[in-house]
A and B are shown apart, each in its own frame.
Chain A
Amino acid sequence: MAKVKTGVSPRLSRMLEELQEGVEDGLVPAWIFNDPELFELEKEKIFSRAWVYLAHESEIPKPGDYVLRYVLDNPYILVRGEDGVVRALLDMCRHRGMRVCRAELGNASHFRCPFHGWTYRNDGRLIGVPAEREAFGQDFNKEEWGLVPIPRLEAFDGMIFGNLDPEAPSLAEWLGDIRWYLELVTKRSPQGLEVLGPPQRWVVHTDWKLALETFLSDSYHTLMTHRSLIELGIAPKDAKYAMYGEQIHIPGKGHGSMVVGAPPGAKLPPFWGYPEEMLERARTSYPTPEQFETARETRILLVTLFPNFSFHNPIRKPDHKYQGAVPMLTFRVWHPLGPGRIEIFSWALVEKDAPEWFKEKTRHSYLRFFGSSGTFEQDDTEIWSHVAHNAATPQGRHLRLNYRMGLKLEPDPNWPGPGVAYGLNFTDANMRNFHRRYLEMLLS
């Protein structure tokens, strides 16, 4: 483990040593969830160097389609040019730095700055300057003054990521073996996924690492946090339903997955409850037979990519009467706004070639359970905000929190996928792996 570097204040240096001492032992000081100085370091060491999820390609399918997306507070116009190429352009006019594009989504061949009218083509080139000759002279070269592209932009199976670090490793290298688990949804159908509308967005007074944890390793909270849904008959009767699965982490990367099957005795349809025709398509669509067999036995699948992307793909009952099942898929970004404050970007997605009736049902399922109005979401955000509040209190900040669940578990040697798998999903193994990677980046 690296030594805590100089260059940070003595206060932060002491704090990082405290984190370093406990991380292998599953002890995490509460202040990591709400500290202004640490947040500044996270911005510099993590979010300025990490691959951050921006959008799904189906959000910008046609030339001129754009969405605004953010890496930290840097606004990027993610736009498909007239040439079909997707670019991420810093939304900052080269003349005086104004935003040239302020609608969160739209379609435009050109962007005209509202300050002085400098006009850019949607590939970023500056093409129009009011009173160009009088104002800037004959030798003004517009080619030198285009919008600035993000240093790195790469995609994996329609998922578009950006990186502020020109020296960053490739996206493929960054993802590593977690791709096997991503493919369980991206390659479930030969046509891939599409978004069901723009992302829902809302602000929560919590830390990005707390929100992410729920999706990376915490199946344990469903016992209590979501108890009302069990009582309503919406979640399976067995409150430990999310325990019956494998928890897998990718060492050195910080990524992880939870692959949950059916609770013992529960009559849940295979393959998340997706329609039979989709199951048949998946048989040939998945790259490997192991992925198909894993998918067939899966009822709930979660994947989290370091640092702040997660997806959740659970089987869901359509209502409390539970006639059949309607699975749903949500992608989300835990976008850091400041210490103890995040904005959640939450998308619903479905296979492009799913039947239309199913697309409508799965959208309803998402709206009922996730997204800004979702029942699960209400439960989670209420709790996350109180934890973040306590983490900033003088008495609470140095409490060491218990990340020791499953510390004695042995890896499952029979798991067919890559990474280190544990045969019981009540473990903090994925979070311990996350904290190791987190600390490594903070200290690098």
Chain B
Amino acid sequence: MFTLTNEFTTVTIEKVQTRNGERLRISAPRMGYSVELDPLELEALTWQPVETFSRLLSTPFGPDEEGVEARPLSDLILFGGEHG
């Protein structure tokens, strides 16, 4: 395993063995995310323009939860609300 760091984040990278092959595990310990990429996925990374990564970073702290509606707190505390 080795670590790559700049002033914005830290990631760890390690080769992991599957039963029949191997993958690369990239982890972001501070974010709690991890991905295991096989050689074909890694190969696909080699021709990505920077725009691809900018698109991935459009949510700077990981993916936004889909389908989660922001609701006012008053929804929960008004008599006659869903919890009434």
Contact = CB atoms under 8 A, between A and B. Distances in A.
B61 interface: yes
B7 A110 contact: no
Given A102-B7, A103-B6, A106-B6, A112 B60 contact: yes
A48 B61 CA distance: 38
A330 B44 CA distance: 45
**What is the interface residue range for chain A against chain B?**
20 to 34
A259 B61 CA distance: 57
Nearest to B8: A112
A359 interface: no
B6 A119 contact: no
B59 A110 contact: no
A185 to B, nearest CB: 33
B60 A119 contact: yes
Contacts of A102: 7
B53 A117 contact: no
Contact of B64 (A106, A117, A131): A131
Interface string B59-76: 111001000001000000
B18 interface: no
A108 interface: yes
A125 B70 CA distance: 28
A75 interface: no
B65 to A, nearest CB: 10
Interface string B17-53: 0000000000000000000000000000000011001
Interface string A120-144: 0100010111111110000000000
Nearest to A133: B64
Given A102-B7, A134-B70, A110 B57 contact: yes
Summarize B's interface: helix, strand, loop or mixed.
loop
Contacts of B53: 109-110
B54 A106 contact: no
Nearest to A82: B50
A101 interface: yes
A272 B7 CA distance: 41
Nearest to B62: A130
A108 B53 CA distance: 12
A93 B80 CA distance: 44
A361 B51 CA distance: 44
A256 B9 CA distance: 46
Contacts of B70: 134
A372 interface: no
A101 B7 contact: yes
A107 B6 contact: yes
Contacts of A438: none
A108 B6 contact: yes
Nearest to A103: B7
B50 A121 contact: yes
Contacts of A134: 70
Contacts of B59: 128, 130, 132
A111 interface: yes
B72 to A, nearest CB: 12
Contacts of B57: 110, 112, 119, 127-128
A111 B8 contact: yes
A82 B8 CA distance: 18
Contacts of B8: 108, 110-112
B64 A110 contact: no
A110 B57 CA distance: 9
Interface of A: 82, 101-103, 106-112, 117-119, 121, 125, 127-134
The 7 closest A-B pairs by CB, nearest first: A127-B54, A103-B7, A128-B60, A82-B50, A119-B60, A117-B60, A128-B57
28 contacts: A82-B49, A102-B7, A103-B6, A103-B7, A106-B6, A107-B6, A108-B8, A109-B53, A110-B53, A112-B9, A112-B57, A117-B61, A118-B60, A125-B54, A127-B55, A127-B58, A128-B57, A128-B58, A128-B60, A129-B58, A129-B60, A130-B59, A130-B60, A130-B61, A131-B64, A132-B58, A132-B59, A134-B70
Given A112-B57, A130-B60, 16 more contacts: A82-B49, A82-B50, A102-B7, A103-B7, A106-B7, A107-B6, A108-B7, A108-B8, A109-B53, A110-B54, A119-B58, A121-B50, A128-B57, A129-B60, A132-B59, A133-B64
